[in-house]
Amino acid sequence: MPTGLQLLQYFRNMVEKSWIITGLERSWKPPGCKITATLNTCTINRIFSMRNLIIHTVLLAIIFLVPLSVMYAQVVVSPEGPLTSISEAVKIAEPGDTIEVHSGIYLESDILIDKKLTLTGIDNPVIDGNGEGFILIIRADSVTVSGFRLQKTGRSYIRDYAAILIERSAGVVIEDNLIDDVFFGIYLAETEGGLIRNNTVRSYDRREASSGNGIHLWNVKNPIITANTVSGMRDGIYLEFVENARISNNISSENNRYGLHYMFSDGGRYDNNTFRKNGAGVAVMYSDNVDMTNNLFENNWGGSAYGLLLKDIRNSRIEYNRFYRNTVAIYSEGTTNVEIWRNHIELNGWAVNIKSNSSRNRFTENNFIENSFDVRTDSPRNNNFFDGNYWSAYEGYDLNRDGTGDVPYRPVSLFSIIIERQPESIILMRSMFIRLLDQAERILPVLTPKTLFDENPKMQRIQ
């Protein structure tokens, strides 16, 4: 099929042939007109065809008025033929074409897309990699893939085989796909922008060492990851050296390690996500200026499991999140200048475990409800700030009825320090003896940090 530029050139040539250059002037010669040449005149000996003029005019109008996008071809692939291979369809397609793949099972792998194309699945066609290599490899800008089931990539300890590999591309859209029983799901490397939306990625290998990541981003700028469901992978969503990522409305659950693993990635935001029953919860490490808002961290249990692990994070915000039934809701190590505000932290083992190398972090207006231990630290000194939080374990009073307790609350209990040194003592938890020890320590602190307290504890939950 001729391209738009080829059609334009054709009609240009046709028009040029309708001009006659004589002497110093160019005179109009309609198609079919015979010329008697003089210096500046043209004698028309016969009347040209009015029909031809109308046809030419209409064709020219079509060229200039109809968008060139309508000239892109649609290539159809189906099990019944005549074209039965997606790889072959990609090879014969022109940039900008749409490849429409109809329902069926296509045993293909390492399908290279190196031009702008749209791949659309009709009635959920299956591309089965048969356990070999990648399935789709995208190395072009503005490629769209939607409506497919991709399954059975290769697996390797030295190569990150993925259902969809996107390399050195910009503006790629991957949406509405089911990616099943794969090593890696969607892998972006050295890309700009891109939209990963409404995909389901899942696998079934429960061994961390032999499973890959669901959505993996390396050296990517400005990606949008939204409304995806990821389960059974090593890390549900993994980011490394990513700038200004937007991660929203995803569900990442039952992954072998982290629901979200965020490393060396500045300026990102993740909001309205659910991280549930992951082996180690969520980890955000070595990053600056990260916003974590309106997420749900729940049921992340295990010896090294956290709702949210913070490692060397700076200048970030944790707001309006819910931490429910995690071994540790928030673990902080080496964090600086992080605002933890208006979060709901309920029924966790430890609400906060904050290490001595964390400083200038502010915990304000949070709800701490029925946690086994509110705060744990490894130093008698405190360089962080707690103020205006609600603590369900607070037993103070409010004589002036302003909603704020009249005596400070010390959230570090003596028993939490004892357990850290002697884990076997957990059998004494909630005993009368332990309650008496904690009460005495709060009145006259000796072992707990004297400077770690909430000066203005709230008497009621913060809405």
Determine the distance from the C-alpha atom of residue 374 to the mean position of all C-alpha atoms in its chain, rounded to a whole number.
32
pTM for this one? 0.83
Rounded Cα gap, residues 319 and 294, in angstroms:
7
Model confidence pLDDT, tens digit, residues 72-99: 789 999 999 899 999 999 999 999 999 9
The residue with greater pLDDT, 354 or 36, is 354
Among 70-79, 312-321, 330-339, whose mean pLDDT is lowest?
A: 70-79
Q: What is the pLDDT of residues 128-143, one digit of tens each?
A: 999 999 999 999 999 9
Q: Is the pLDDT of residue 326 over 50?
A: yes
- On the question of pLDDT at 251 being above 60, the answer is yes
Rounded to an integer, the average pLDDT of 344-351 is 97
Contacts 24+ apart (CB under 8 A), 312-315: 312/285, 312/286, 312/287, 313/284, 313/285, 313/286, 313/287, 313/288, 313/338, 314/287, 314/288, 314/289, 314/338, 315/288, 315/289
Q: With a cut of 80, say whether residue 431 has pLDDT above it.
A: no
Ranking 94-98, 360-364, 381-385 by mean pLDDT, the lowest is 381-385
Mean pLDDT for 394-402 is: 93
Which residues neighbour 127 within 8 Å (Cβ) at sequence distance 6 or greater? 86, 106, 108, 111, 135, 136, 148, 149, 150, 151
Q: Give the pLDDT band of residue 204 (cuts 50, 70, 90).
A: very high
Is the backbone of residue 90 left (phi > 0), alpha (psi -120 to 50) or beta?
alpha
**Three-class HEC string of 130-177:** CCCCCCEEECCCCCEEECCEEECCCCCCCCCCEEEEEECCECCEEECC
Q: Is the pLDDT of residue 409 over 80?
A: yes
- Please give the pLDDT value at position 217: 98
In angstroms, the Cα distances linking 332 to 269, 376, 380 are: 19, 10, 16
Q: Rounded mean pLDDT of 27-47? A: 39
User: Given a cut of 50, is residue 15 above it in pLDDT?
Assistant: no
Domains, the chain? 4-69 (no CATH), 75-369 (2.160.20.10)
Residue carrying the six token digits 């699945």: 121
Report CA 100 to chain centroid distance, whole Å: 27
> Quick one: what percent of the chain has pLDDT higher than 70?
82
C-alpha 329/C-alpha 281 separation (Å) is 9
pLDDT value at 402 more than 50: yes
| pLDDT over 50 (residue 236) | yes
Residue 153 has pLDDT above 80, yes or no: yes
> pLDDT grade, residue 440 (50/70/90)?
confident
